[in-house]
Amino acid sequence: MKKQARLVLENGVVFHGAAFGATGKDRTGGEVVFTTSITGYQEILTDPSYAGQIVTMTNPLIGNYGANNDDLESRKPFVSGFIIRELAEEYSNWRSTESISSFLSENNILAIEGIDTRKLVRILRSQGALRGIVTTESVSDKAILDEVQKLPIMTGLDLTKGVTTSEAYEIAGTLANAPHVVVIDYGIKQNILRKLTAHGAKLTVMPSTVTYDEIKDRKPDGIFLSNGPGDPEAVTDGIETVKHLVEGKKYPIFGICLGNQLLSLALGGETYKLKFGHRGANHPVKNLETGKIEITSQNHGFCVNWDTMPDSCELTHLNLNDNTVEGFRHKELPIFAVQYHPEASPGPHESDYLFTQFMQTLA
């Protein structure tokens, strides 16, 4: 007999289902969001950008290829919870080592299955991302709703310190004279590190709280600003460091996702929270310089307000679903960034050129 569970949203809507994963855990709370990705649930679970969030999969059947040790995007899952329509009771894949349920259990992540995820996603699309709690407790819906109302909202939260590396570390390059890139880790995905080294860089990965002087002491050839969770405007120490890097006019800089937002803020722009965010592997983005359309992987809840950006910057990429900012570059300095994930390769590899461009600025 499966253990009963509920999802209680801040608008008072309650969904009933069954618990899996860490079924001995009574409760978990966070911002309830959804992703349209059909596969890649293990990469989603271990993407640090999902910290503080309960992720809903829109694909109805999850878990059919199990879990393995090779598809981790970080050292552990950072989601607060997991919501699916149906759990595959049996899994089959030559690389799998365990079920998704046991993987979640080992990492103390409470999940819920058997709810109407189509209804849930319609609510999130119409009302926006909502706070919620997944619970197995035998208490009233009203009591849980009261606890939901006490959860912090995502706006104003700096979550980078909970996902960044605790100390600096190095990754060797693949070339004899590999350019040296300092990577500021705000919650970096492992595939970004793999892409940078595959394109010939040697890396020094540093914590999100790193200062300009600490970076300068490493004598880098360039700077990479990583993805990460939370509200970019709340990452004040990161903004200050990036501001010094820009003002120094010494290093080429490339940013992805949160890195794009922090770079925008350091240049004097502003960001805002999207209604329900962009999360999935099929978002069309137009490269305004080439006119080509890229099918991209995305995971963000905040966006750059282009009207606030200085004239020294040029818009380079546009989201074709809602015309939001997906990338920009500085007109004079070797600085550029994108909001989507070019390392994720959601089938196409057409965004890989961005890593090539960055390496060319280091030459």
The closest of 215, 7, 213 to 119, measured between CA atoms, is 7
Catalytic residue among 199, 278, 283, 341: 341
The closest of 224, 109, 210, 222 to 161, measured between CA atoms, is 210
Amino acid at site 257: C
341 counts as catalytic: yes
For helices 190-198 and 353-362, the axis angle rounded to 10 degrees is 60
Query: What does the block give as tokens for 38?
Result: 């059909």
Q: Within the chain, what is the greatest distance between any pair of CA atoms?
A: 64
β-pair partners for 112: 19, 83
257 counts as catalytic: yes
Distance CA 125, CA 118 (A): 11
Give the side-chain half-sphere CA count within 13 A for 190.
13
Cβ neighbours, 10 Å, residue 353:
14
The closest of 225, 281, 271, 255 to 336, measured between CA atoms, is 255
Phi and psi dihedrals of 24, rounded to 5?
A: -80, -5
The closest of 218, 351, 259 to 297, measured between CA atoms, is 351
Catalytic residue among 257, 278, 303, 326: 257
214 counts as catalytic: no
Give the side-chain half-sphere CA count within 13 A for 245.
36
Cβ neighbours, 10 Å, residue 17:
22
- Catalytic amino acids? 257, 341, 343
